[in-house]
Amino acid sequence: MTSAVVIEKLQKRYGSVEAVRDVSLQVEPGEIFGLLGPNGAGKTTTLRCLCTLATPDAGRIEVSGISVLNQPKLARQKLGYVAQEVALDKVLTGRELLQLQAAIYHLPTNQIKTQIDRAIALLGLEDWADKRTGTYSGGLKKRLDLAAGLLHQPDVLVLDEPTVGLDIESRVVVWQFLRKLREGGTTILLTSHYLEEVDALADRVAIIDRGVVIATGTSAELKDRVGGDRVTLRIREFTDLGEAEQAKALLQSMPFVQEVIINPAQGNSLNLVVTPQSDALITIQQSLQQAELPIFGISQSRPSLDDVYLAATGQTLLDAELAATGARDLKAERKQNMR
């Protein structure tokens, strides 16, 4: 069976910025495939290259066996793309916007009404289709945007952060809709930095960091690779590095502790991977007490996708988001000071 999407050794630069260094992934027909990573990791650039909105510097991209680089017009017929930012004409009604989209897709005239009615029904927009989009809530705008992306019945639906900024109720509606699409045979490739969203929806996941795929597999497979339970330990609310290093050395000597990472972004807390056993926390607490090291907080849990990212990069996704935001703010401040 031909893969729905094939991306091999993708590279893309914007001037001096290397947005994508080496992305390779394969999406099979009828699955939901999630791209997980912080802002600036290269997720959106990868999707833009896939959807012919950006030209890669190197690499191979195919959709349903069609080369995106050599046959872009034919590839676009197989793709539906919904960007992160919703851009709707506030004056048009939902139905009018879909009619405009149908004209852009060059849908046959005798199919337009059927396809629009189908899209409206799929997204539950019957009560809103003939109202101006300027009156829509954020959730309704996103649903209309999804309807527009599906109007030509693409083989592959590409979604960039499909629920960003939505309330919980609207996110659940979108999740239910995407599961229904998958059941109907549509392949879905989505990006997100919401861990629970990817965990709940994706059949398989690729984690991207700094333009490189660092892990691929099902959510369960990726968590199993962590190798045990996660323990999060805080010696103090804000621990100095010396105490954290002392605790790390003590913890690494324990036979059930597989890995210890000091997380400076979270007050030098310690993140441990431990072989699952009932007395792990008790043993850790007793050993720290004997070493006269206090415990501000300690918890044990099964691995999450964030633990997979932490094990691969040494920081959590939230830490990476905050670091990227700080870097952007610093760059903007420097530009402002140069004026």
Axis-axis angle for helices 168-183, 109-122 (nearest 10): 130
- Whether residue 19 is predicted with pLDDT greater than 80 in this model: the reply is yes
Q: Tell me: the pLDDT tens digits for 112-129? A: 999 999 999 988 899 999
Examine the pLDDT at 70 and tell me if it is beyond 90.
yes
Distance of CA 9 to the CA centre of its chain: 20
Query: Which pLDDT band, with edges at 50, 70 and 90, does 166 fall under?
Result: confident
pLDDT of residue 40: 86
The three-state secondary structure class of 298 is strand
Mean pLDDT of 181-206: 91
Q: Where in the chain is the domain with CATH 3.30.70.100?
A: 228-302
What H or E segment, with its residue span, contains residue 25? strand 17-27
Residue 228: left (phi > 0), alpha (psi -120 to 50), or beta?
Answer: left
DSSP-derived pairing of the beta strands 187-192 and 32-36: parallel
Q: Where in the chain is the domain with CATH 3.40.50.300?
A: 5-223
Residue 328 has pLDDT above 70, yes or no: no
According to DSSP, the residues that pair with 300 across neighbouring strands are: 231
pLDDT confidence band for 315 (50 / 70 / 90): confident
Is the domain spanning 5-223 CATH 3.40.50.300? The answer is yes
CA distance 284 to 250: 9
The band of 62, judged by pLDDT with boundaries at 50, 70 and 90, is: very high
Tell me the two tokens of residue 149: 């992306």
What is the pLDDT at residue 327?
53
Task: Check if the beta carbon of residue 312 is closer than 8 Å to that of residue 215.
Answer: yes
At residue 164, the 3 state secondary structure works out as: coil
Distance CA 320, CA 26 (A): 25
The Cα 66–Cα 9 span in angstroms is 17
What does each C-alpha distance from 254 to 125, 229, 261, 283, 284 come to in angstroms? Answer: 58, 15, 15, 9, 9
Question: What pTM value is reported for the model?
Answer: 0.79
Give me the mean pLDDT over the 80-84 stretch. Answer: 91
Mean pLDDT of 241-246: 94
Rounded to an integer, the average pLDDT of 305-324 is 77
Residues 6+ apart with CB under 8 A from 286: none
- The CATH number corresponding to 228-302 among 3.30.413.10, 3.30.1360.120, 3.20.80.10, 3.30.70.100 equals 3.30.70.100
Question: pLDDT above 90 covers what percent of the chain?
Answer: 62
Q: What pLDDT is attached to residue 337? A: 47
Q: If we measure between CA atoms, which residue out of 138, 145, 159, 116 comes closest to residue 27?
A: 159
Q: Can you give the pLDDT at residue 329?
A: 53
pLDDT at 164 over 50: yes
| Mean pLDDT for the chain overall | 89
Residue 65 confidence (pLDDT): 95
Write out pLDDT tens, residues 246-260.
Answer: 999 999 999 999 889
